[in-house]
C-alpha cells in the first residue's frame, strides 16, 4: 500500500506541472495504459490460474502467471520491469497470493449464483 501512496504522491505534481505547461496546446497522440487481471477456473476451484497483464498502447509488455510464479517480460522494456519486480520478495509473495485472495475468494462468493444455479427448461408453443 505504501508503494501506491508513493506513486500517487509523485504523480499529482507531475500532472499539475504537465497541465500548466500543456495548457492551450493540442495533444498529438493518445497513450493508453491498461492492466488486466484474469482468473482461469478448471474443474471449479480444483485448478486455478491467475494472470495479470500489463499493456501499453495495445502491446503487452509484462505479465504475471501464477503457474510460472513470477513476472515475465514480453518486450525488452518489460524484461527490465519484470527483473525489478521479481527482486522484491514482499511484492512477489503478494502477487502469488492473488490466486487465493482474488480468484478463489470471488469464486466462492459468486459460485452459488453462477455455477450451482439451475433453471428448469421451459417450452411454449403458439400459433
Question: Is residue 85, in this structure, part of any structural domain at all?
Answer: yes
Q: Count up the domains in the chain and report the number.
A: 1
Question: Is residue 15, in this structure, part of any structural domain at all?
Answer: no
pTM of the model: 0.62
Query: Which structural domain range is residue 94 located in?
Result: 33-114
> How many Cα atoms within 13 Å fall on the side-chain side of residue 83?
6
Question: Is residue 84, in this structure, part of any structural domain at all?
Answer: yes
Question: Is residue 91, in this structure, part of any structural domain at all?
Answer: yes
Question: Is residue 58, in this structure, part of any structural domain at all?
Answer: yes
Higher pLDDT, 110 or 49: 49
Please measure the distance between the N-terminal and C-terminal CA atoms of the chain and give it in whole angstroms.
63
For 55-102, the pLDDT digits (tens) are: 999 999 999 999 999 999 999 999 999 999 999 999 899 998 988 888
CATH number at residue 56: 3.10.320.10
Grid coordinates of 23: 495548457
Question: Is residue 67, in this structure, part of any structural domain at all?
Answer: yes
8 A C-beta contact, residue 62 and residue 72: yes
How many other CB atoms are there within 10 angstroms of residue 53's CB atom? 16
Grid coordinates of 93: 509473495
For 16-61, the pLDDT digits (tens) are: 445 444 555 565 677 899 999 998 888 776 788 999 999 999 999 9
Question: Is residue 96, in this structure, part of any structural domain at all?
Answer: yes
Map grid coordinates 499539475 to a residue. Answer: 16
d(CA 27, CA 25): 6
Amino acid at each position: 500500500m505504501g508503494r501506491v501512496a508513493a506513486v500517487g504522491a509523485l504523480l499529482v505534481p507531475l500532472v499539475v506541472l504537465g497541465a500548466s505547461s500543456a495548457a492551450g496546446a493540442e495533444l498529438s497522440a493518445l497513450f493508453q495504459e491498461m492492466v488486466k487481471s484474469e482468473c482461469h477456473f478448471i474443474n471449479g476451484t480444483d485448478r486455478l490460474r491467475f494472470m495479470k497483464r500489463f499493456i501499453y498502447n495495445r502491446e503487452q509488455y509484462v505479465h504475471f502467471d501464477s503457474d510460472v510464479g513470477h513476472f515475465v517480460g514480453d518486450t525488452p522494456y518489460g524484461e527490465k520491469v519484470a527483473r525489478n519486480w521479481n527482486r522484491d520478495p514482499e511484492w512477489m509473495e503478494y502477487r502469488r497470493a492473488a490466486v487465493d485472495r482474488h480468484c478463489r475468494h470471488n469464486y466462492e462468493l459468486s459460485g452459488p449464483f453462477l455455477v450451482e444455479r439451475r433453471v428448469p427448461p421451459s417450452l411454449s408453443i403458439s400459433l
